[in-house]
Amino acid sequence: MLIETLQFLIKTLSDLFVLVLLLRFYLQVAHAPFRHPLCQFVMAVTNFAVLPMRRMVPSFRSYDMATLLAAWLVGMIANGLILALNPLPYNFAAPQTLLALALLSVLYLFKQSLFLLMGAVIVQAVMSWVNPYNPLAPILDSLTRPYLRPFRRAMVGGVDLSPIILFLIIQVILMLPVRLLESGLLMQLKILV
C-alpha cells in the first residue's frame, strides 16, 4: 500500500512538472506574449531547472532544447523511480533497460504533449462560450491554431466542429499507436528482468 502511494505521488508530481515544462516549450514555439501572467508563472516555476541546462544545451533552430531535455529527464527519473519501487528487480545497469526507459520517456513526453493540447482545446472551447474576450484567449489560440486550422471548414449551422474533430483524432492516437508502443516497451522491460 505504501509503494502504490509513493508511485502515485511520483507519477502525479512528475506529470504536473512535465506539463509545465512542455507548456513553457510550446509557448516559446507559439511566440506567446511573455508578459502575460500565465507565461510569467510558467517561467518562474521552471527557471530553476531550465536556466542551468541552457548553459550546457544550446537551442536548435530557435527551439529551446534545454526545456525539452529537462522534461525528458524528469520523465526518465520518474519512470525509473516507479520501476525501482516495483517488486520485480530491474537491472538498471543493463544498456537494454536504459534504452527502453529512455524510449518510454520520449513516448511519455509525446503523450503529455497530446494531453496538453487536449486541455488547451477544451479550455479554449469553454472560454469561447463563456467569455470569448478573456485575456487567456490569445495564448490558447496561439497554442491550438496550427492544429485546428486543417479542420476549420467543419462548420454545421454556424458551429465550429474543429475542436471535436481534433479531440477525436488525439484520442485515437492515444488509444492505438501510443498504447501499442507503450505496452511494447513495458513488455521489453519485463523481458529484461
What pLDDT does residue 189 have?
76
Tens digit of pLDDT per residue, the chain (193 long)? 899 999 999 999 999 999 999 999 999 999 888 888 999 999 999 999 999 999 999 999 989 999 999 999 999 999 999 988 887 776 777 788 888 899 999 999 999 999 999 999 999 989 988 888 888 988 999 999 999 998 887 777 777 888 999 999 999 999 999 999 999 888 887 766 5
What pLDDT does residue 192 have?
60
pTM: 0.91
Residues constituting the chain: 193
What pLDDT does residue 193 have?
52
By the 10 Å C-beta count (0-12 exposed, 13-18 middle, 19+ buried), 44 is classed as: exposed
Amino acid in the structure at residue 129: W
> Which 3 state secondary structure label does DSSP give 160?
strand
Please name the residues in contact with 115: beta carbons below 8 A apart, sequence gap of 6 or more. Answer: 19
What pLDDT does residue 4 have?
92
